[in-house]
Every structure is written in structure tokens, then in C-alpha cells.
Chain A
Amino acid sequence: MIQSQAAPQQASDDIAVTLKGVNKWYGDFQVLRDINLTVQRGERIVICGPSGSGKSTLIRCINHLESHQEGTITVDGVTLSDKMKDVEKLRRDAGMVFQNFNLFPHLSVLDNCILPQRRVLKRSKAEAREVGMKFLTRVRIPEQADKFPGQLSGGQQQRVAIARALCMEPSLMLFDEPTSALDPEMVGEVLETMVELAGTGMTMLCVTHEMGFAREVADRVIFMDAWQIVEENTPDAFFDNPQNERTQNFLSQIL
């Protein structure tokens, strides 16, 4: 709590994302309650909580895959409005990795990386190709470049999805339960990729249940329950000395 209240006083250049008083409803049903959050540039945040607690909704609101009704969300100094131009600019800056990868099955792995660069960044084919190979190498699957997503394992597909997002050179990466759809033996390779990415200083917001990852990488852990932020703290304090009763319950169930 201390960090998020201190944040607004800092220079806005150092702030990647700000959420102020965000509320969201599906019809009459409230799915986000008064969310306030400030993410520093380079900060790595893990959001956890029971399923249905609103954490995926929160992260999907940040790049406007879902819209909120009250409050403001600012990403890289751009405050979200419904203007399509703003939304598209914001989505360029925020890379997103999904639970189900959402790779394009009709394009080869490399073409998955090339298409958005060509269409959105208007890069030349050669440049897009070069950048694509660079990031495929970074996630250690350059040899799969010409295969189709369906021919890869789940773990490989998720690494391609990370590479594809990185090709857009985002200033911020959003992860929406990136390992939840994977077979257990493939979780490791994806987490490893994410740890490496964290090492490059990328700003990261991760919705995940991988507490080992949270402890190793996160600057801050946020616990959500019943559509609001219940507790946030450094990983050590969060895991060793949870304050809220609901957090304690949650941790006792998953650890």
C-alpha cells in the first residue's frame, strides 16, 4: 500500500501503468471494485487470487480487450478513451500473452511474428523477418520457425507467443495465466523464458499461480479476492507474513 500511494509523486516518466478508481460491471454484476494501482517502469508484478476474483479481467482492461465503466487507466502516459487510435497505440506498447496462446494456426511460427510487425509497425518484410528470428532465438526455438503452431508442444507454442509479443517491442508485458493451460512438464520452460525476460528489465504484470516464480522474480505481489485488491506487498513479506485473513486462507490452500 505504501508503494502505490507514494508512486504518484514520482516523475510520470517512471510510471508505466496507473489505474485510478477503476470499476467494472457485467450488467448488474460488479467484476472490478475500486482498483487503484501504480506500476513503476521496470517493475515486475505478480497478481494472484482465487479463480473468478477479477485478476484476468483487470489485466484485460489494461489493454482494453475489455472496457471498464468508471475510473481511469493510463498506460505510458496515454489515458484510455474509446478512441480507436489511442487503443491501438496502447496495444502496441503493451504486449500480451494469453492462457491459450492465441497463435494464428494458419501462419507458420515465423509468419506469426512477421504479420503484426508488417501490419502494425509497417516494417519491411526483411526487417520483420530479422526481428522475428531474433526473438525466436531469444526464446530458444529458432529451429521451429517454419513449422505451424499446431505442430509444436504447448510449451513451445507459449514461447512463440512470447516472442511474437516481443517483436512489437513493447514497453510493458501482460501475462494472463500463461502456464495454466500447459501440461505440468512444460511449465518450467515457459517460466524460464519469463524469468529471462524479467532479467532484461521489462515491465511485467503477470496473473499466475506460480508462487515460485513470484518469489523469485516479483517486486510486488498483489492478491485479489472478490473483485478487489485485498493485499499487496513484497514477495517475502507476502508469503511469510500475510496480513489479511483471506490471503492466509488462499496461501494455505495453494502452498
Chain B
Amino acid sequence: MIGFLQSIFGEFYGKMIFILLDATQYTIYLSLVAFIGGGLIGLVMTVLKILPNRATRIFATSYIWLFQSIPLLMLLFLIGLGVPSFFKVDVSPWLAAGISLTLFTSAYMSEVWRGALESVPNGQWEGARALGMTFRQTLLDVIAPQALRIATPPTVGFMVQVIKGTSMAYIIDFTDLMRWGKKIANSQVPGAEPFIVFPIVALIYFALCFPLSQWSKAMERKQALGKTR
């Protein structure tokens, strides 16, 4: 890999790009952890929020409100620096970054999914209930499939926010693309000036995010077309 990169970009830049790409894998892992973990918790919160039960609804609403209001940066500080100093426990950067981004993702995801569920016309609930279907059957067989279609584009779109969000994790010493970019830019080596390194770092992030946002947009457009027909 490094040899291949060096044959294209020359020895110096080939090595730089190799280091950055190597660090990018941790950006991807963290994004996946946050997306999967956040997705699961978000799903639970979405269900709690629409269950016909006051207590669960209040709990889910407060959860979503809380973690949407706390800036991601504060979450990272709270869990990465605050928790260790307050509870006298060790929290590895991996764990802190994973938890922070999971909480952040879950709140936004359940907000998106709840919106999708609500955008399914009320008549669909009433129709299914009138046919004698239970709440569970209605939700799983009638509402969820329709909501899923609506929710997919913004869910994919939010992946972009998650990936961009992981770039903040370097602040609590998480080793990722951003951290290595900063390290190289600070190295004072000629040819590794900030105005060269950061655009390369940006391009790598762009390569991760752009396909996702285009995919999300394409799906949205397709749905909009389907609606007008």
C-alpha cells in the first residue's frame, strides 16, 4: 500500500498520505460504533416515545431533549475528562469517544425516526386498528414499513454528521485522521505545512462523506418524484 502511494505521490507525500489513510480507519471504526450503537439506542427511544404509556414517553422525550441540547464537544469533555476525575475511574479515549458519539447519534436518530413515524398519515393507524390489528401489529406491519422509506434518506444523511462529529474526538486524545493531520501539520517539516496537510485531511473526510450525502439526496429526489406522480 505504502509503496503504491509513494509511486504515485512521491516518497514524502506517499508516506504522509499512507499515515493519514491508516489513521482514517479509526475514524471509520468510531463512526460505525456511533452509528450502530446510536441507531440501536435511538430505536429503543423511538419506540418508548410512541408507546401508549406516559412514563416511557416522558423518559424518551427527556433523553432526546437532553442529548440534543448538550453540545457534542461538552459530551466528549464530560465523559472523557469529567467522569474520570469525578468518579476516579479510568475511561479510555476509545470508550469516551464511543459513548459520547453514541449518545449524540441516538438522540438525533430517534428524532428523525419519530418524525418519519409521525409523517405516516393518521388514517393508516385508524384503518389498521379498525381492522382489529393490535398496536404491535399496526406498528410493525403497517406503519414501520412506510416510515422506513421516509426515514432512510435523512438517516443516511446523518451518517455524514456522525463522521464529521468524530473529528472532535481527537480533543480527548482519540487517535484518528484529525489527530494525525494535526500532528503532521505541527511537525514543522517543509512540505507538511498546514495549508497542504489540512486540505488533504479535508479531502479524505470529503471522500467518506460526499458519497453518503449524494446517496441520501438521490433517494430523497426519488421519493419526491414518486409523490408527485
User: In the complex, is A directly touching B at CB under 8 Å?
Assistant: no
On A, residues with C-beta under 8 Å from B are none
